[in-house]
Each structure stands twice: as C-alpha cells, then as structure tokens.
DNA sequence: GTGGTCTAGACCACT
DNA sequence: GTGGTCTAGACCACA
C-alpha cells in the first residue's frame, strides 16, 4: 500500500515477493524444494547470482532453508510465519496509512466501504 | 541483504511528498512562496542539489512556478490539480491494491470497515 | 578458536573480519567513513561486488550505516556492540571449547597457564 | 548474507571429526572395525558418498586402513598418532590464537586461569 | 563522488 | 546434480 512502485524494484526483490506469494499460495508447500537457482535463472533469463540474492533474502527471513548439495527448501512453519508477519504489517501500517490518505483526500467513506463489500462478496468462494 | 525498501525513499522524493502535502494542507497556500533552496538545505542538513531536485520535480508537475529572482511559488490551481490527481490515483491504484491484499491475507472485512467508520466519525469535519 | 581455518574463507568474509578489527582498533572510529567500495576494490584488486558484499554484512550486523550518496559510516556505539558480542562469544564458546580440548588431549594445565601468564606479562603495555 | 560459518562444517568433515574423537575415546579401539558406509549413511540419513569421503580422509591421514571385503579398521598406533598430531596443533595454533583473542578483547587473565584450574580439578582423573 | 544492480562466464565445494 | 564465490565490465540512482 505505502509505496507500490513495484515496477522499479530490482529483479531479485521482485523474485522475493513472488516466492513469498508462492509460499502463501501453497505453490511451494512447506517442506518442498524451491526450483534450483540455475533452473530459475534459465527460465527467466536472468543471472544466477540475481536468483541467489533473492534466495538469500528468504534464507535470512527464515522462510526457507538450505540443504547442502540438495537445494533450497521451504521451512516448516514458513507459511504461518509469513501470514502472521504480513497480517501484522497490514493492520499496523497499511490500514492506518490507507485511512489517513482517505481522509486527507476527503474521499467519500461510503464509496470505499461499498467497494470493499462488493469485491468481497464477488469472491465468496474464499 | 535484508534491506531498506520501507521508508527509504530517496530524500528528494520525501521532500516532494512533504511539499505536496503542504500544498494540500494550506501550509503553502496558492500564490505563496516556498522556502528558498538554501533555507531548506540548511534546515534539513541536506545537499542543496537534493532540494533543487525536489523543486524541479514539482515544477515539472506544474504545481509550482519559478519567479526569477524571487524564488518558487505555488501556482494558482495547484491544490485543485493535486487533489484531483491524488484522488484518481487513490481510486485506481491504492483502493484495489488494498482490497486485494485484504483478501489475500484473509483479513476480516468487518474489522476493516468498522475501523474506517470509526476513524472517520472521530473527525466529524468530513 | 573453534575453527580458525581463516585461509579458506571467502574474500568478502575476510574483509568483514578485517573491518571488524579495524573498528575495535579505532582504525575506523565511530562516525568515520569507511573507505569507499571502489577504493577498497582498487586497492586490493578485487571486484567491487565482493567489497559490497562485505559492507552489507556489516550493515546487517548494525555496525555501519549507509548515508546515501555519501558512503558507509561506522555507527555510534559500534565498538561497544562489537566488543560485547565478541566477549560473550569468547566466554560462552571459545573458552569452554578450549578447555574441553585441553582435557581431551590431556594437555598439562600448568604449561598452558604459565604460557598465558607469560604472554600477558610481556604485553604489560595493555 | 548473514550466514553460517559457525557450526556449518561440511557433513563429511563433521564425520571425520566425530570418528577422530571416537578413536581418542577408545570408542573405536585400535584394530576394531568402523561401522560400514552403508550402516552410517542409513543411521545418519546422509548420502553414502558423503560417508565414503569421510573415510577416505581418514585413510589418507593414515588413521584407518581398508581390509578388502571386510571394511575399514582402526590402524594400530592410530590413537598415538592422533594424540601427537592434535597436541602439536593445539600448542602451535589453538593456544596462541586463544591468547591473542584474550588480549584483543581485554579479557581478564585471572578469570580465564581460574576457570581452567577449576574445570581441571573437577575432573581429577587428570 | 557514492553505492546498487545486472550480465556473462568461470571455478569450487558439497552431496 | 546443488549452491557459493569471484571476475570484468556496464549502467543507474542518489547527493
């Protein structure tokens, strides 16, 4: 929310975000192996070091672990950790920022609320 | 590698945002002069080139104008222009992003809505 | 003590160690600037990325800070932090390991103690 | 980038160390057979090649020998050889390193000496 | 001037 | 096969 200038983000950072989402989406379930550095670098046509940098960031966040000679694996508990962290951040930062901006711009609250209601009900399958 | 893409906007960008808010808040009413580059750079202990860069960005956005020998002034209509632009951006980007994130994290919609209701009613001047 | 195989350490890691010592030695007093990435890479004839990696590790440890456009600076309190951390590690890991090894190898305790006494008194200027 | 150069010795190296200690401890007396590669790899859930690598390192050090069709055996004299080698290394490397670090961190020598005295006397069998 | 990112290609250690 | 490190050289954003 705060700064969604996703475009100018360095490639490795975009990768980090994509993988984080993959963990949340069960695309990479806990215990599963991430695609190898080489595989990703080949698939996306980017340097392997760039991929490695992304994986290291996830390593530092404690979301994945290295098994030597085998590759990178999603840690057990990673999804929960992530969900928790992002939820906290959302409630502590994004929500207040959002509301503050809404007020500053004198956006009609009813318009916002109805949009939220509407979009939520559309995806009732959640 | 775990680094700052949080509040680490470039200084000049932070300045731009602060001044934009100043225009919205009437801190810098239309027609008024902005503090000189020298003054700002001294007060914030930053390079004058950084300040200059911020002012140029505002110039390019058409929010302020240079009066030779006198300095930078807020253009008439600046506030309206700004309000319009930011509102559009809010509705087209921030709101959808916000909602998407809400859903992805399965945040309870009622909690969010009630927070919005509450904070808005506190500031009855809406 | 544990594994002092300093040789096989990657260059960037050796650099990290050298700079940590520099901070302890007052070679890089708190608040002072570290030599620029380029300067170091030129002086040691190593790739600038390698230097950067070392600086990042110190950044992550909270020993140095980046001032944008200006370079890397030793944080205030860095020396104290370092000293504390290393002392703790020494007492909690190195000392016990040392003693355990001494016993396992049945090294004469008097020999060790006298060596310590001797070497310490030689450097009385501490 | 803040990573593991702590206890993250390669697995085969950890094995080598463990077996060396086993020889010193009489867990593997001279002339006795080491557990088979298969047995070790199964017990520790590691690749048999890793185990093999460890055994080869011990072979190269002359501490064990291969008896064709029977497996690996601790050589006669192995314990003595080991004790000698480790003692030399301890006195030539570990002790000086230890003392140097002690001085650099300005650790009180009396504290260290008394700890040594104490822990040694606890194990009166010295 | 500073650091940050990326590429292309090489070599190494571990399993 | 896996990841880790390094080089040489390029381009960019920030101050």
pLDDT at A124: 55
**Average pLDDT, whole number, for chain A?**
88
Q: pLDDT tier at B2 (50, 70, 90 boundaries)?
A: very low
| Residues 6+ away with beta carbon under 8 Å from D71 | D33, D34, D36
| Residues 6+ away with beta carbon under 8 Å from B83 | A105, A106, B24
Give tens-digit pLDDT for B42-63: 999 999 999 999 999 999 999 9
Put simply, the answer to whether D1 touches A69 (Cβ < 8 Å) is no
Least confident of A101-105, A116-120, B90-94, B108-112: A116-120
C99 touches D at CB < 8 Å: yes
Scored b (16 or more CB within 10 A) or e, A88-109 reads ebbeeebbeebbebbbebebeb
Which residues in C lie closer than 8 A to residue D116 (C-beta atoms)? 99, 102, 109, 112-113
pLDDT at B113: 86
Asked whether residue B4 carries a pLDDT value surpassing 70, the answer given is: no
C124 touches B at CB < 8 Å: no
HSE toward the beta carbon, residue B116, CA cutoff 13 A: 26
Put simply, the answer to whether B1 touches C60 (Cβ < 8 Å) is yes
**Which residues does residue D71 pair with via DSSP β-bridges, in sequence order?**
D67
**Average pLDDT, whole number, for chain C?**
88
Query: Average pLDDT of C57-84?
Result: 95
D123 touches C at CB < 8 Å: yes
pLDDT at C2: 35
Put simply, the answer to whether A68 touches D2 (Cβ < 8 Å) is no
pLDDT at A76: 97
Q: Which nucleotides of F are covered by protein (CB under 7 A)?
A: 1-10, 13-15
pLDDT at D7: 59
* Torsion angle of the four alpha carbons D90, D92, D93, D97, in this order, in degrees rounded to the nearest 10: 110
Note the CA–C1' distance, C54 to F5, in angstroms: 13
Scored b (16 or more CB within 10 A) or e, D102-112 reads bbebebebeeb
Query: Average pLDDT of B84-113?
Result: 88
HSE toward the beta carbon, residue D23, CA cutoff 13 A: 27
Task: Name the residue among B62, B57, B66, B75 with its Cα closest to residue B36.
Answer: B66
Distance of CA A14 to the CA centre of its chain: 9
Q: pLDDT tier at C35 (50, 70, 90 boundaries)?
A: very high
pLDDT at C106: 85
Tell me the torsion sign for CA atoms B89, B91, B93, B95. Answer: positive
pLDDT at A67: 94
CATH of the domain spanning B11-76:
1.10.10.10
Task: Name the residue among B76, B50, B48, B57 with its Cα closest to residue B16.
Answer: B57
Nearest protein residue to nucleotide F9 (CA to C1' distance) is C47
Asked whether residue B109 carries a pLDDT value surpassing 50, the answer given is: yes
Q: Which nucleotides of E are covered by protein (CB under 7 A)?
A: 1-10, 13-15
Least confident of A3-7, A75-79, A100-104, C5-9: A3-7
pLDDT at D123: 60
Q: pLDDT tier at C7 (50, 70, 90 boundaries)?
A: low
Give tens-digit pLDDT for D51-83: 999 999 999 999 999 999 999 999 999 999 999
The stretches of chain A forming alpha helices (DSSP H) are 11-24, 37-44, 48-60, 78-89, 95-104, 109-122
Q: pLDDT tier at D103 (50, 70, 90 boundaries)?
A: confident
From the CA atom positions of chain C, what is the Rg in Å?
18
pLDDT at C100: 86
C41 or C114, which is more confident? C41
Q: Cβ of C119: how many Cβ atoms within 10 Å?
A: 16
C49 touches D at CB < 8 Å: no
pLDDT at C122: 67
| Residues 6+ away with beta carbon under 8 Å from C121 | none
pLDDT at B63: 96
């Amino acid at each position: 929310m705060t700064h969604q200038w996703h475009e100018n983000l360095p490639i490795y950072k975009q990768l980090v975000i994509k993988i984080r989402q993959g963990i949340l989406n069960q695309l990479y379930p806990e215990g599963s192996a991430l695609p190898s550095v080489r595989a990703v670098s080949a698939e996306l046509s980017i340097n392997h070091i760039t991929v490695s940098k992304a994986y290291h960031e996830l390593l530092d966040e404690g979301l994945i672990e290295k098994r030597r000679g085998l590759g990178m694996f999603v840690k057990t508990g990673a999804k929960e950790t992530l969900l928790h962290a992002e939820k906290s951040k959302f409630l502590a930062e994004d929500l207040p920022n959002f509301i503050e901006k809404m007020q500053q711009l004198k956006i009609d609250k009813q318009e916002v609320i109805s949009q939220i209601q509407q979009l939520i009900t559309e995806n009732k399958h959640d």
